Amino acid sequence: MQTHQMPSAREAARLDTQALRAAFLLEGLFVSGEIRWVYTDLDRAIVGSAMPTTQPLDLGNDDALKADFFCQRRELGILNLGDAGSIVVDGMTHEVARHDCLYIGRGSRAIRFASTCAETPAVFYLVSYPAHCAYPTVKASRADANQVVLGSRDDANERTIFQYIHEAGIKSCQLVMGFTEFKPGGVWNTMPCHTHARRSEVYCYFDVPEAHRVLHMMGEPQETRPLWVADRQIVLSPAWSIHCGCGTASYRFVWAMGGENQAFTDMDRVDIARLR
């Protein structure tokens, strides 16, 4: 597990492209046959992946957590970006298909990841936040998600938000999680953009074609900065930063939040004309 420290807004405004990417973009997190983690001081979020192939992968622990097992004081949200797989939690098997979500509550000890087929493996994306109490482990399929249709064709941001872990869905301590996909012709996400001072957010872009990129915009509204993001790369978004993007082709992204509350609508909108 790597440890990642975040710069302040004032520091970020002075970073060049390479330093900005090193500070806010996580690359190389998805590796076949491995579990990889990054611990960040951004609300103590941990972001990771599990890509089992021929053998299952057991979720271990790390000395940095000072815990007896990974979920001793944490909750864990998982979204499958790949093909079918399964996750065993304390002896109970959960079949997890593409775009299915699994929430694992505090206190869960033994967690194992497996792919149904090694040639077309599951790709489990993992986000964890500290938890103050235990909620049940729950799986939700794509069909179970609360679907919110937003945007318009004229604004090139017609999209569907799939909400899994949220106030009216899977219960959690502070984690909120889901993903967004676009209708044909939609490329702009979260526009008009916003900040939410009471929560941080983690973006994982996926299904981005190899030759294409997403232009992710971050920074304070009057001091924005660009990040060119490829498939399965992750942006850490602190509370002071906007988070929006525009793709050169169709894409999807997982959003996960943690912090003071779970209200999906708790955001401070920024008029497009105010952006600099």
pLDDT in tens, 157-189: 999 999 999 999 999 999 999 999 999 999 999
Q: Report how far residue 144's alpha carbon sits from residue 169's, in angstroms, rounded to the nearest whole number.
A: 9
Q: Report how far residue 268's alpha carbon sits from residue 242's, in angstroms, rounded to the nearest whole number.
A: 10
Q: Report how far residue 174's alpha carbon sits from residue 167's, in angstroms, rounded to the nearest whole number.
A: 10
122 token code pair: 């599951």
pTM above 0.75, yes or no: yes
- DSSP 8-state symbol, 6: P
pLDDT at 190: 87
Contact 163, 145 (CB under 8 A): yes
Pairing of strands 2-4, 35-40: parallel
Cis peptide before 221 (omega within 30 of 0): no
The list of the chain residues with pLDDT below 70 reads: none
Give the domain 2-274 fold. Jelly Rolls (2.60.120)
Contact 270, 192 (CB under 8 A): yes
